Amino acid sequence: MKLKNTLGLAIGSLIAATSFGVLAQGQGAVEGELFYKKQYNDSVKHIEDGFNPGARIGYFLTDDLSLNLSYDKTNHTRSNDGTGNQKIKGDTGSLTAQYHFGQAGVDSLRPYVEGGFGHQSRGNVRADGHTGRDQSTLAIIGTGVKYYFTNNLYARAGVEADYAMDNGKWDYSALVGLGVNFGGNAGAAAPAPTPAPAPEPVPEPEAPVAQVVRVELDVKFDFDKATVKPNSYGDVKNLADFMAQYPATNVEVAGHTDSVGPDAYNQKLSQRRADAVKQVLVKDGVAPSRITSVGYGESRPVADNATEAGRAVNRRVEASVEAQAQ
């Protein structure tokens, strides 16, 4: 009578839980279950097969993958084969991961596979010449299926295999369970489709905006020299090609020196450098009337004249041209 009252209370609690109107299995769901399994023993000699009641709680990391903590009570009777008809009691705790297939919902089936580890303890074990508590670390694999009566109430049937790492033996069990889950997001009704917005009027195409294009020139010179070096011819040619593409453009080529030497000498040197670049531009096809060459001496440094590296940067001719491209 006590067992019937306990089962009635458990089933009543499970059914009441489904009246909460929450969602079925899915990411974030919590699952609780009571189960009963038949244990087929092989890892300890002279123990009859028995029935183990237990409970399990799980949490869904994704819609399909859950982590589960289980606990069941071992209740076996030793066979009367010369070792004594003793009652064997104990418990098993385990942590397993279950991967589910299919979708949760009313009248649906969800097969699953699982794997994990557990710890089993049995008391009053008399075998191989000793008595006392027998403890084993277990590797657990299993498979089964869940059937959903509602979005939240399900029954489970499955099989498990427990490998005792201590003695290399296997135990097997078949189980049935009844559980509920709540707090997940599977089985939720799909949101009503949002009506498509009315098409917006197509704006009139805008007139193309003129784009500014630009080319710059920076030619370096050796100390006290006004000769354009061959490695700068390509840069001067790029400027000439740009001006050929945009014939309305003009350019100023500006010559500069470092601070070594008298100001008057540097002024003339910078002019010779500017004129030298102008000559290369004319050779590349630019009309002389479109080119102005100006020498600025040492008045416009862009680097520190106190260092050799800075002075090398200051020995230069610069030019810049802009145009508007449609």
pLDDT tens digits along 71-126: 998 877 665 555 556 677 788 899 999 998 887 777 788 899 999 999 988 776 65
Q: How far is CA 10 from CA 54, 70, 105, 279, in A?
A: 12, 17, 22, 102
292 has pLDDT over 70? yes
| Residue 326 · residue 210 · CB < 8 Å | yes
Considering the entire predicted model, what is its pTM? Answer: 0.48
More confident residue, 206 or 54: 54
Structural fold of domain 211-325? 60s Ribosomal Protein L30; Chain: A; (3.30.1330)
Q: What are 104-108's contacts with CB under 8 Å, separation 24+?
A: 104/24, 104/25, 104/26, 104/148, 104/151, 104/154, 104/181, 104/184, 104/186, 104/187, 105/24, 105/148, 105/151, 105/186, 105/187, 106/148, 106/149, 106/150, 106/151, 107/148, 107/149, 108/147, 108/148
- In words, the CATH class of domain 2-15+22-182 is mainly beta
Q: Which two tokens stand for residue 94?
A: 């385990």
Could you read off the pLDDT of 199-246 as tens digits, one per residue?
Answer: 888 877 776 666 778 888 899 999 999 999 999 999 999 999 998 998
CA separation, residue 193 to residues 23, 26, 190, 262 (Å):
21, 22, 8, 83
Write down the pLDDT at residue 20: 42
What residues does each domain of the chain span? 2-15+22-182, 211-325
- The yes-or-no verdict on residue 182 having pLDDT over 90 is no
Question: Quick one: which of 85, 157, 160 has its CA closest to 117?
Answer: 160
**% the chain with pLDDT above 70:** 79
**Helix (H, G, I), strand (E, B), or coil: what is residue 128?**
coil
Task: Please say if the pLDDT value at position 267 is more than 90.
Answer: yes
